[in-house]
Amino acid sequence: MNILVINSGSSSLKYELYDMKDESVLASGHVERIGMETSIVSQEARGKPDAREVSEILDHTAAVRKVLELLTHDEFGVLTAISDIEAVGHRVVHGGESFSESVLVNADVKKKIRDLFDLAPLHNPAHMAGILAVEANMPDVPQAVVFDTAFHQTMPPTSYMYAIPQVLYRKHKIRRYGFHGTSVDFVSRGAAELLGRPLEELKLIVCHIGNGASCTAVLHGKSHDTSMGLTPLEGLMMGTRSGDLDPAVVPYTINKEDLTLSEVNSMLNKHSGLLAVSGLSSDMREIIQAMQDGDEKAKLAFDMYTYRIRKYIGAYAAAMNGLDAVVFTAGVGENSDIVRASVCEGLTFLGIRLDEARNAVRSQEARAITTDDSKVAVLVVPTNEELLIARDTFQLVRQAAKLQPAGGIRKGWIE
Amino acid sequence: MFRKIGVVGIGTMGRSISKMLALKGLDVLLVEKSQKALDNAIQLLEAGLDRQMERWAITLAEKKLILSRIHRMNTIQDLADCDLVIETASEDLDVKKHLFKELDQVLPVQAVLASNTSTLSLTELAGVTQHPERVIGMHFVYPASRIDVVEIIRGLETSDDTFERTKAFIDKVLDKKSIMVYESPGYVTTRLICLLINEALHLLGEGVASAEDIDSAMRVGYQFEHGPLEMADRFGLDSVLAALERMFREYGELKYRPSIQLKKKVRAGHLGVKTGNGFFQYNKDGERLT
C-alpha cells in the first residue's frame, strides 16, 4: 500500500511517498512559493533522476496536481497511475481538545480543524488548504490527519491548566497544549525498544531539540507534562524564541517601547532566543563555532540554552518521581554531542554517567550515550514524524477497510 | 483573487500601500515616470523597513522578501497584466482623470481600477473610462500596514461584481475591516477626523489651550494614539488643508472652512512630519522631539 504524507504550509508543501510493505520512501519533494508565478517544485524519487521545475502554481490545488503529475511522470515518477496512492496523511499542528489521536478526515473533522483556526492562525488554515487540495484532485482517496498536539492530550489538569481566571479556559480554551507530539510519541517507542523494556513501565524525558525545542515528561508511555504551552513560545530557549519569561515583561515592554501586539509577538518569536543573546545567529552550529573561537556572547547564549534544558529535566524527574532515560532527538538533539554533553554535565546527581566516546559517535541509529552502569540512560533516537504519519494513516485506513492486520508492519522500524 | 497589483504614485500613501501589500505576500508593481524619484521612493521604503526591523516587527529575511516583491515600473503600460491597480496620485481631479483614462486603456477588462482618493468623486473619475463598472474607491488610512480599516466607495456605476471582489480582497487577503460608504466627500474617516483637527486648530487660534495640552486632552481623555494636532502633522498639513478645502467647496458649510492657523503653516512650508516641523518638531525617522 502506498501512502502519501503531506505537510502543507501557507506557501509551501512538503511530501513523502511511502511504500508500507517495507516502510520505504519511494519519493519525496517539496513545492515552494505557492501563489507566485515562479513556484519551484523539486522531487527525489528512488531510481529516477531528480526533478526540478519552475512554473506558475497559484494555489494548493494546483500544487497537489503538480505533485501527482511528478509522481506519475514517465521519466521522474515512481507510480504508473494516481490510483496507486491508496491514502494520504496530513500533518496538522493544532488539534486543540478535539483530537487526542489521529483520525480519518470527514466533514465533522474538517469543521473541527476550522474551529481551531484561532489557536493556530498560521498553521491550521494552511493544513486545511492541503486537505481540500487533495480532495479536489483525488476525491475518492481516504485522508487521515495526525496532530502535533494529540499525544499531549493525556496530560492531567495539574500540568495543562494555567493559574489564571478559569473563565479564560472555558471561553477561549486557554491552556497548555504542547507540540512535537508526533515526534515524542515516535521516539519514546524507539527508546523503549532500545532499552528492551515495556514503554508502560518507563519514566522518560524526551528533549526534542531542533529549531523549535521542547521537553516532555513521558510517564508510562503517556505525556505527563510538556514545556510548550498554548503556543510553541513557552518553555525552552530556542533559535529565535525566548521560551519562558515573566509574563509581566510583555506589557512592560509594550509600554516602554510603544510596541503593537504584532511587534511584541514578532520580537518574542523571531528576534529572541539564541539569536538575541549571541547577536550572531539562531543556528546552534554557528553558536558553538563562535563560542570555541572565544566569543563571550555566544558562550552565554549556549550556556543559557543548555541550562534551561537541564532545569526542565530536573523538574520533570521530580514531576514523575523518578527517571529511567533522557532521550535526545531532532536536529540539534541528534547531531550536537556538545549540547548533549553540556546538558548532562550537571545531571550526575541523577546517576547519569555520560560515555564520552559513545556521545561523540555520529550516527543515524538509535543509541545509548551513557556508560552501561549509568543509573539513568541517555539515548539519542532519531525522529521521523513523516513515517509516524504514514503509519497512523495506514492503520486508520486498514481499520476502516476492516482488513485482516497484516504481520510485519512494525518490524524493523527502529533501524 | 487579485495577485498582481499595480500602485500608481510614490507619495506617502503609495509607498505605505505598496509596503502593506508586499507584507501580505502580494506582488506589487510601483509606477513612477522618473527613475530617480522611483529609486528614491524605494530607498525611503527600505529605510522604513529598517526602522521596523529595529522595532522587531520584521526580520532581515522578511525585509528582503518584502523588497523583492516590489517591482519598479516606469510607465502605465507596464501594468498591462495587473488584476488590480490602486491609484494614489495627489488629490487633483485633472491629474487623476488623465491617469484613469490611460489605465482604462491599458488594463484587461476584468481588472479592477481603484482610487485611494478621500474627497474626489469616483463617479466623475469613472466617467472618463470606457468601463465605469470596474472603477471603485479603496480608501486606506495611513499607515496602511498598521491601520486595519479600509473604506470601499461605490461610484454610481460600480458593478456588484467589482464591489464583491474588492470587499473579499480586503476582508480575506488583506485581513482588514472594510467599511462600505457611498460617494460623499471625505466619506466617514476623513470627514470626521478633519473636522476634529480643524476644531482643535480653532481652539489653538483662540488661545484656549496650548498645542501640547490639546493633544494630551484627546490622547489621555479619549484614548487617541496621537492627539489631533500631531495627527495633522503626520497626515501632512497640506493634505489636511486640501481635504478641508474640498469639503468646504462641496458642502458649502462653514464648519469645513480651514482654520487660518493651518493655512499659515502650509504657506510657510511647515507641512508636519515630512518637513520636520508642523505643530510639533520631528526627526527624520518621524519620531516626535520633545
What pLDDT digit, counting tens, does each position of A49-79 carry?
Answer: 999 999 888 889 999 999 999 999 999 999 9
What pLDDT digit, counting tens, does each position of A360-409 carry?
Answer: 999 999 999 999 999 999 999 999 999 999 999 999 999 888 754 554 34
Domain final position from A113, A147, A181: A147
Residue B245 CB-density burial (10 A; 0-12 exposed, 13-18 middle, 19+ buried): middle
B267: left (phi over 0), alpha (psi -120 to 50) or beta: alpha
Q: 3-state secondary structure string, A328-357?
A: EEHHHHHHCHHHHHHHHHCCHHHCCCECHH
Domain count, chain A: 2
Q: What Rg, from alpha-carbon coordinates, does chain A have?
A: 22
Q: Are A330 and A208 in contact (CB under 8 A)?
A: yes
Q: Say whether both A227 and A292 belong to one domain.
A: yes
Q: Say whether both A105 and A206 belong to one domain.
A: no
- In a domain? residue A251: yes
- In a domain? residue A406: no
Chain A residue numbers with beta carbons less than 8 Å from the beta carbon of B219 are none
Q: CA-based angle B25:B30:B33, to the nearest 5?
A: 170
Which chain A residue lies closest to B62 (C-alpha atoms)?
A270
Q: Are B237 and B265 in contact (CB under 8 A)?
A: yes
Q: Say whether both A135 and A210 belong to one domain.
A: no
Strand order across the beta sheet in which A103-104 lies: A51-57, A36-45, A24-32, A13-19, A2-8, A85-92, A143-147, A103-104
ipTM: 0.74
Question: What CATH number is associated with residue A106?
Answer: 3.30.420.40
Q: Are A368 and A344 in contact (CB under 8 A)?
A: no
- In a domain? residue A400: no
- In a domain? residue A162: no
- In a domain? residue A171: no
Q: Say whether both A223 and A313 belong to one domain.
A: yes
- In a domain? residue A241: yes
- In a domain? residue A393: no
- B251/A32 Cα distance (integer angstroms): 53
Q: Say whether both A95 and A217 belong to one domain.
A: no
Q: Say whether both A252 and A351 belong to one domain.
A: yes
In angstroms, what separates the C-alpha of B69 from chain A's closest C-alpha? 10
- Strand-pairing partners, residue B140, are B150
B203: left (phi over 0), alpha (psi -120 to 50) or beta: alpha
Q: Say whether both A201 and A91 belong to one domain.
A: no
Sorted by where each starts, the structural domains of chain B and their CATH numbers stand as 4-182 (3.40.50.720), 191-277 (1.10.1040.10)
- A282/A125 Cα distance (integer angstroms): 27
Q: Is the Cβ pair A11, B58 closer than 8 Å?
A: no
- A122/A299 Cα distance (integer angstroms): 33
Chain B residue numbers with beta carbons less than 8 Å from the beta carbon of A271 are 56, 59
Which chain A residue lies closest to B1 (C-alpha atoms)?
A58
In angstroms, what separates the C-alpha of A106 from chain B's closest C-alpha? 25
Torsion sign over Cα B19, B22, B23, B24? positive
Residue B53: phi, psi to the nearest 5?
A: -65, -40
Q: What is the domain extent for residue A269?
A: 197-380
Written as tens digits, the pLDDT of chain B (290 aa) is 888 999 999 988 999 999 999 998 889 999 998 999 999 999 999 999 998 899 898 988 889 889 999 999 999 999 999 999 999 998 888 999 999 999 999 999 999 999 999 888 899 999 999 999 999 999 999 889 888 999 999 989 999 999 999 999 999 889 999 999 988 889 999 999 999 999 999 999 999 999 999 999 999 999 998 999 999 999 899 999 999 999 999 999 999 999 999 999 999 999 999 899 999 999 987 888 87
Q: Are B215 and B226 in contact (CB under 8 A)?
A: yes
Q: Say whether both A210 and A350 belong to one domain.
A: yes
Q: Please report the DSSP string for B65-106 in residue order.
A: HHHHHEEEE-SGGGGTT-SEEEE---S-HHHHHHHHHHHHHH
Element (H, E) at A216: strand A213-219
Q: Write out residues in chain A with pLDDT < 70, as ranges.
A: 403-415
Q: Is the Cβ pair B146, A257 closer than 8 Å?
A: no
Window A:3-22, CB contacts with B under 8 Å: 11
- In a domain? residue A329: yes
A140 is annotated as an active-site residue:
no
